[in-house]
Amino acid sequence: MSEGPPGGMVVDEALLERRDAPGVVILSGGNAVLDWHRHRGHDQLYKRFRPEHRDLIDEGALLRLIRWRWELPAPDRDRLDQLAAWPRYAVRAGGRLTGVLVPPAADRFFTRRRDGRLTPRPLHGLLGAAGRPGAPTAVRLAVLGRLIRAVRWLHGRDVVVNDLQPENVLYTLDGPGPAVHLVDCDSMTSERHWGRVAPVTAPDLMAEVVPANVEPTVATDLTKLMAVVALTARETLTYAARLRSAPDTSAREVADRVGDVLGRLGLDQ
């Protein structure tokens, strides 16, 4: 196990080198602004918390979340890095927390626009858009199978994804096969390892599935996961109808049902 990142887990903002990346489109979230910076010879995304969100952050929990990755056995740490954009460092300015440094996803999780710039490829891209058809059934199921496996891998290590929504899942069909990459990882929770970094929030779409004030658990993750599956596969499968017709079915049972379907199709490996 590693004792922690070189030089400690906290970086002074004054030591970061601002970089421009004109070839990459950065999508900033509601609680933060993203910029490219260079730290110790590596390009990182500086996720700078907006003031109203920064004041709600439990810095101790955030540092424990960062340390948790460094304390994983090397094979688990490598697997986590494949699955998620886990924060590497906390950033302070004038002694006050301002954000985190996050490694960018691999190029294969981006798509090239007509103007030549790269833009992240979130999960809802599988649905297509005006004038562009959605991905074939087999492709959608293959990607969803990887997402289910990624979420369950984290659950197996006592981590709750919490802010599980299509915008926080990047996907790729390039390389050795379909893969997913989770972002916004500082919103993940773990009762065992670090607690909760910030109050629970949810976009309107997910708040309809699990109210924003409900404590994150594996059960709420599975409920959100199946909502994401239903949204992504709705044109080819009937998950949404099943969920509506069986309101008392537990999230775990629904997850197992989806896993069985993927297994029968040979798309869960």
Q: DSSP assignment, residue 106?
A: P
pLDDT single digits (tens) 124-149: 888 876 567 778 877 888 888 899 99
Residue 202 has pLDDT above 70, yes or no: no
Helix, strand, coil % over all residues of the chain, rounded to 5: 40, 20, 40
pLDDT in tens, 49-73: 999 889 999 999 999 999 999 999 9
pLDDT in tens, 74-93: 999 999 999 999 999 999 99
Question: Is residue 252 a contact partner of residue 219, using CB atoms and an 8 Å limit?
Answer: yes
